[in-house]
Amino acid sequence: MILAFVLSSAYSSLEDITYNNIQADIKKNILSSLGFTPSNEDPWTTEKVEQIFNESIVSFVINKSGNVIPDKLPEDLDPKVDTDLYPLYKKIVDGQVDGFAIPISGKGLWGSMYGYFSIEPDGATAKGITFYKHIETPGLGAEVDKPWFQQNFVGKRFIDKEGNLIGIQTVKGKVDNSSDEAYHQVDGITGATMTSRGLNKFLLKDLKYYNSYFEQIRKSIKS
């Protein structure tokens, strides 16, 4: 009995540690997508990530109509039940909104990819993108992890001139900056066509879930 209790307690503690590490990594990716960066002088320990997140990020939940759900937080959501509710993270700097982050996920070449896509306060421009889990091929699709690829998204618009949601397209090769479509295109990854196609598809899919919320922001800026 004693051995069983000890083993059970050890397993429970291990589960807690694993869960906390996963949550810390997710928060780290949310922060990274929103422009926070660690430094050699001030590295991101688990405690530091928690501190920055609590001080700078407001977490909330919206429905498909873009309305905020009171007294509901992202950690309260059950993905099997709350299929029409979506977590959203807002970055606050000196009392002002400095961006939003949304979770993104979908199929790459070999399996599901998970990350965060951040949006400028205008509700139309990419602020950043990160990935925290995938099984894409090293040197090919796994390049989605690399700064050179993620930096491509910064400043790109996912709304066209008429106000329609069009997403951001990863193209084959380099973006033709003289093209009328360059404002919503990023350089592709050599040899990773299926990963790029998957990213294009699921990024647009996830942006659609949040479009009603950001549409309200875009309209308020115009008025």
pLDDT above 70 for 40: yes
Residue 135: φ, ψ to 5° = -130, 35
CA distance 149 to 151: 5
**Residues 144, 199: contact at Cβ < 8 Å?**
yes
pLDDT in tens, 160-200: 999 999 999 999 999 999 999 999 999 988 888 889 999 99
| Secondary structure letter of residue 137 according to DSSP | P
Spatial neighbors of 218 by CB under 8 A, at least 6 apart, are 122, 123, 124, 159, 163
CA distance 77 to 93: 27
Look up tokens 């993905």; give the residue: 79
CA distance 111 to 97: 34
| Secondary structure letter of residue 102 according to DSSP | E
CA atoms within 13 A on the CB side of 78: 2
Pairing assessment for the beta strands 185-186 and 169-170 based on DSSP bridges: parallel
Which residues are registered as beta bridge partners of 113? 106
**Residues 195, 144: contact at Cβ < 8 Å?**
yes
- pLDDT value at residue 22: 79
DSSP-assigned states of every residue in 59-83: EEEEETTS-B-TT--GGG--TTT-T
Distance between first and last Cα of the chain: 69
Total residues belonging to the chain: 223
- pLDDT value at residue 79: 87
CA atoms within 13 A on the CB side of 140: 12
Which residues are registered as beta bridge partners of 118? 101, 128
Is the pTM for the entire model greater than 0.75? yes
pLDDT in tens, 127-166: 999 998 887 867 677 789 899 999 999 999 999 999 999 9
